[in-house]
Amino acid sequence: MNTVVAQLQRQFQDYLVSLYQQGFLDNQFTELRKLQDEGTPDFVAEVVSLFFDDCSKLINSMSRSLERPENVDFKQVDSGVHQLKGSSSSVGARRVKNVCISFKECCDVQNREGCLRCLQQVDYEYKMLKTKLQDLFNLEQQIVQAGGAIPQVNIN
Amino acid sequence: MLAGKAPGLQHPNSNSILRGLIITLAYDDVNRTVTKRLLEKIGCEVTAVSSGFECLSALSNVEMPYRVVILDLQMPEMDGFEVAMKIRKFYGYHWPLIIALTASTEDHVRERCLQMGVNGMIQKPVLLHVMDSELRRALQSASE
């Protein structure tokens, strides 16, 4: 038994579990991992990459809409939050999704200050998740390069 | 518009009901990619589109006998209900099957779905086993 591989696999498992425990990810991420197989080994990485691109674009456009206090397009902001909530929900980005829920509430009552706070928070959360998942994918790569298999992790 | 070939099926008998072409319509890249992959994983051959127009165009292609349309109801700048209505208007009420993906299970959404001739509803985010069973259920009852 290759102990280097076993060690890496252990590290990967612990790290992934910690991401769930700390609320960064939820069950939908598990569903996403189920869709990846030998034929589509980069599926999860590709989807989250699309997600982070979306985050960046939506945050930029919402930021522009919220820029001038006398002229806020809440409809546009609401549309952006809705999209962000939808895609974060599909990939299991739990913290991002939760900020979107508060964000929508601020939008509904046209609270510009609240929206700006939520925008900042959602920006922080997606960037944090991006870093965490990059670390996770790096571990995956190391396992594969060492000749091992990515463990199936059960989240309880 | 993307077309994908499904990977080899492990249990051809149990999956034969799922074999067949499906169109999935979602506005954003993330949802379109995830739904497409999910359907392929359960053995379907999928064409992913991002507009009602592309969807209707794909359906009009006689060389690709699509059986089901998976339709995301909550899309910005596009009314999923309107797409469903157009499908029923051009192609009738028996084909293709329409399965709606919705974030809400509110009664008025269900009502509208029934009115539009939608054959099934799945709540988002979509789980693999839920898509599988809902597809089977809809295809089964359509063949009865």
Mutate which: A25, A27, A28, A31, vs B, most B CBs within 10 A? A31
Q: How far apart are CA B17 and CA B15, in angstroms?
A: 5
Contact A78, A16 (CB under 8 A): no
Residue B13 pLDDT > 50: no
Q: Strand runs (DSSP E) across chain A, as ranges?
A: none
- Look up the ipTM and state it: 0.88
Identify the CA nearest to B131 among candidates B42, B66, B21, B68. B42
Cβ-nearest to B30 among A39, A51, A79 = A51
More confident residue, B137 or A153: B137
As a whole number of angstroms, the distance between CA B1 and CA B3 comes to 7
Query: Residue B125 is nearest to which of A39, A54, A90, comparing CB atoms?
Result: A90
Q: How does DSSP classify residue B6? A: P
Is B128 in the A-facing interface, judged by CB distances under 8 Å?
yes
Q: What global pTM score does this model have?
A: 0.88
**Could you tell me the fold of the domain covering A3-146?**
Four Helix Bundle (Hemerythrin (Met), subunit A) (1.20.120)
Check pLDDT > 80 for residue A139: yes
Q: Which two tokens stand for residue B57?
A: 């165009």
- Domain residue spans in chain A? 3-146
State residue B66 phi and psi, 5-degree precision: -70, 140
Q: How far is CA A124 from CA A19, A104, A114, A129, A132, in A?
A: 16, 17, 15, 9, 12
Count of other CB atoms within 10 angstroms of residue B16: 11
CB pairs under 8 A between A and B: 57
* Shortest CA gap B111–chain A (Å): 22
- Predicted confidence (pLDDT) at residue A1 exceeds the cutoff of 90: no
Binned at pLDDT 50, 70 and 90, residue A75 comes out as very high
Closest CA to A13 of A140, A134, A129: A140
> Which chain A positions have a beta carbon within 8 Å of B103's beta carbon?
86, 89
Q: Is B10 on the interface with A (CB under 8 A)?
A: no
pLDDT at position B17 is: 63
Sign of CA dihedral A19, A22, A25, A26: positive
Retrieve residue A75's tokens. Answer: 């409809």
